[in-house]
Each structure stands twice: as structure tokens, then as C-alpha cells.
Chains A and B, each alone.
Chain A
């Protein structure tokens, strides 16, 4: 833990509290948030940009090759100075890896071949080996996988989105314990802001259409997808 920095006490105290599934309008708008973030120290701003570049969907180039993205993510994770932020970022990527695996399996894809780069985190090999198991053999450490699978299979995209956001929100809460007025607290606040923003702007119909579009782009020749369609 780094020493408490006065400017972050002021910054954190100037930010309103956020609830995930609260109002449809966020308590602080992006312009005002950006204004407050001018208090960040240059090194911390650089680190924040790097973390956002691997975690924020707005910053991830969907045209980027999976292997290139994963290599970039691994480099960024290794460069994060704070062990707390490194662990939080890794867990967020692991959640996405599990969700990606659920979606791939749901689309009828076989388990990824050994040695291929398809996910990030400590569970990648476990998932690959237990591809046919409903919870990939991870139910004990990730109890949300079961409900997520059920929602995916029943086509409840809004419920799945809500579950993913809630799981990510709780994970952030576990990591941020003890960080109230430091750089870590700022990063966790921004993570929460993004999650709340995503939910506030969530439109179930648009999301379903977007998912189908992405699936079509990613799996143009998949027989399973053609069958499902």
C-alpha cells in the first residue's frame, strides 16, 4: 500500500457514491468526472490509461487480433505497480474469459486446442480440460457460473448482463477493502462508474442484436451457429 496522498483524499471525497443497479442516471457525468481526474498524478494517469486500455470495452479495438490483445493484456498486468490493482484487473479478465468460454460453448464450438491463446487467467487450462462440464469444474470457486449458464441458455440476455455486472462489482468490492483515499480507490471508483454506466445504458433489445451481429462476424462458417440460427 502506498502512502496516503492528500490530493486523492480530496478527489475521492469530491466523488458522489455510486450504486450499480440504481437510478438510470449516473450521479456524476463523464465531463465532470474527467475534470475531477485532473488531480491524478502523471504516473498514476499513465497507469490508469494502461489499465483502461485492457479493461474498458470502449478502448478495446474489436478488430485487434486475440493473441495481440492477450499479449498486450499480459504486459499491462505485469507492469501494474499495485498488487491490489493487478489482482483486480486479472480477476476481471478471468470473469470475461469464463463468459467467453460459456458463449463459445453455447454457440457449439469445441474446446480450444491445447496451446492456443483464447483466454487470460489461472482458469484457462481448467476450462479447456473440463469443457463438457456445465461449470467447467470451477463452480466451487466461481459459483456464479451456473446461473450465468442458465441465463445464457434461456436467452435471458438482460439477466446475464446484470449477473456479469453484479459479479464484477462484488469482485471489485473484495479487492478495494482498505483503499479509501489512494490511487487504488480512484481506479476502483472508475471501475464502478463504468459498470453503473453500462447498466444505466443497457438496452436489452439492442444488446441482443449487437450480440448476434458480433457472433456472425466472429463465426461466419460455424456449422453450429448456422444450426442455431
Chain B
């Protein structure tokens, strides 16, 4: 049982990075494909499309920071806490990334033919980013309460 708790603890420590990276990879791919498509139809603004496509990569950075905040000597006593915070943070970051990628793809598709809505079209992606930030901040707060 003790060994299981330690294993779970390790999973929890690395989950924010692992799941965050998976989510970012999917999100950036979705938005990136939209950016490539938009480049076929427009004659300028390529850098702007690529920049928007990179937005979902922020969640893996949050995951790295959360991982460092969870990193400590893993014991049977703190394994469950590390697992709970780490896994849920990773899942939330991954999910936010994927959907943020879709929101970015929509923003790219819409703003290619109507450049004046570029800033406003990014609002949904920015709101999703806010949810990822909530997860990130409160994971840091709770990580400080885990002994070890």
C-alpha cells in the first residue's frame, strides 16, 4: 500500500507537465492547421496567424511550474495529495489547451476575411486561458500545504 501511494505521488508530480504537454500539442496543432489554411487565402498577416496558433502552448509552461511546486520527497503520507492535485491540474490544463486550440482556429478563420475583428475574436481563447490560470494558481496555493 505504501509503495502504491509513492507511485501515485510520482504520477501526480509529473502529470501537470505530461498532460499539459499533450493538451498543448493538440491545441497548437489544431490552431496551427487553421493558420496554414488561412495563409492559403490571404496575402499578409502570416505572422499574426502563427502567433495565435502558439497560444495553447502556455498551459505546458503552467504545468512545468506546478511540477516544481509539487516536487519534494514523496512519502506514503503525501502521495495521495500530490496525486490529487497533480492529476486534476494536468487534466484541466490539457482540456483547456485543446479547446483553446479550437477557439484560436475559429479566431484565425474569422479574422482572415475580417481583420478588424482580430482582437475581439481572441476573447474566447483568452477566457479559456483564464480558466487555466485559475487551475495553475490554486494548484500552487494547495501544493504549499502538502507536507514533505
A interface, CB within 8 angstroms of B: 4, 6-7, 9-17, 27, 36, 180-181
Among residues 28 to 84 in chain B, which have CB atoms less than 8 Å away from a CB atom of chain A? Answer: 29-30, 33-38, 40-41
Per the bound structure, the CA–CA distance linking A14 and B35 in Å amounts to 9
Please tell me which one of the listed residues B29, B33, B114 contacts residue A13 in the complex, with CB atoms under 8 A apart.
Answer: B33
Per the bound structure, the CA–CA distance linking A12 and B102 in Å amounts to 12
Query: Which residues does chain A contribute within 8 Å of B113, judged by CB atoms?
Result: 16-17, 27
Per the bound structure, the CA–CA distance linking A14 and B110 in Å amounts to 11
Query: Which residues does chain B contribute within 8 Å of A11, judged by CB atoms?
Result: 37
B interface, CB within 8 angstroms of A: 29-30, 33-38, 40-41, 102, 105-106, 108-110, 112-114
Contact B30 A14 (CB under 8 A): no
A-B contact pairs, 5 of them (CB 8 A): A10-B34, A11-B37, A12-B37, A14-B38, A14-B40
Query: Which residues does chain B contribute within 8 Å of A16, judged by CB atoms?
Result: 41, 112-113
CB distance from A181 to the nearest CB of B (A): 6
Tell me whether A180 and B33 are in contact in the complex, defined as CB-CB below 8 angstroms, given that A14-B41, A15-B41, A16-B41 are known contacts. Answer: no
Contact A6 B30 (CB under 8 A): yes
Per the bound structure, the CA–CA distance linking A13 and B113 in Å amounts to 10
Tell me whether A13 and B38 are in contact in the complex, defined as CB-CB below 8 angstroms, given that A4-B102, A181-B102 are known contacts. Answer: yes
Q: Besides A13-B34, A13-B112, 10 other CB < 8 A contacts?
A: A4-B102, A7-B33, A11-B37, A13-B36, A13-B105, A13-B109, A14-B38, A16-B41, A16-B113, A181-B34
Per the bound structure, the CA–CA distance linking A49 and B33 in Å amounts to 25
Per the bound structure, the CA–CA distance linking A27 and B35 in Å amounts to 19
Please tell me which one of the listed residues B29, B37, B102, B114 contacts residue A14 in the complex, with CB atoms under 8 A apart.
Answer: B37
Please tell me which one of the listed residues A7, A27, A181 contacts residue B105 in the complex, with CB atoms under 8 A apart.
Answer: A181
Per the bound structure, the CA–CA distance linking A13 and B41 in Å amounts to 8
Q: 6 closest Cβ contacts across the A-B interface?
A: A13-B37, A14-B37, A10-B37, A13-B34, A9-B33, A14-B40
Tell me whether A10 and B41 are in contact in the complex, defined as CB-CB below 8 angstroms, given that A17-B113, A181-B102 are known contacts. Answer: no
Per the bound structure, the CA–CA distance linking A11 and B105 in Å amounts to 11
Per the bound structure, the CA–CA distance linking A12 and B38 in Å amounts to 9
CB distance from A153 to the nearest CB of B (A): 40
